Amino acid sequence: MRVYDSPVLKVNASTENEKIVLDAEGPLSQLAKPFLKRINNIFAEEKPISINENEIIFSTWIPPIPGPVFSRVVSAEIAAIRKKEFQISSQ
């Protein structure tokens, strides 16, 4: 299931042994991997409340996936990573 979609990054969710796993594709996928690894580590310890073909409800403290709040979280993380990369490369 596609849970985040932008021209430079697409994030997909799949299930493995009843656990949610996120992976990325697109030009910024390599930058997103550390962030997705952190999320996947959290997801590995928890079982989702509900999974259907259109939405994953993971818990009461994680917004429904996909959804506008989850998209803002991903966008903010990618923006922060890009800003750090730019600062390092301009030094």
pLDDT tens digits in sequence order for the chain, 91 residues long: 898 888 988 999 888 777 889 999 999 888 888 888 988 888 888 778 888 888 888 777 778 888 898 888 888 887 887 776 555 555 5
Global confidence as pTM: 0.75
**How many other CB atoms sit within 10 Å of the CB of residue 26?**
16
Q: Where are the domains of the chain?
A: 2-89
Q: Which of these, 4, 9, 14, 15, lies nearest to 32 by C-alpha position?
A: 9
Cα(57)–Cα(64) distance, integer angstroms: 5
- Kindly state the DSSP code that residue 90 receives in the 8-state scheme: T
Cis? peptide before 64, omega within 30° of 0: no
11 close to 32: Cβ distance less than 8 angstroms: yes
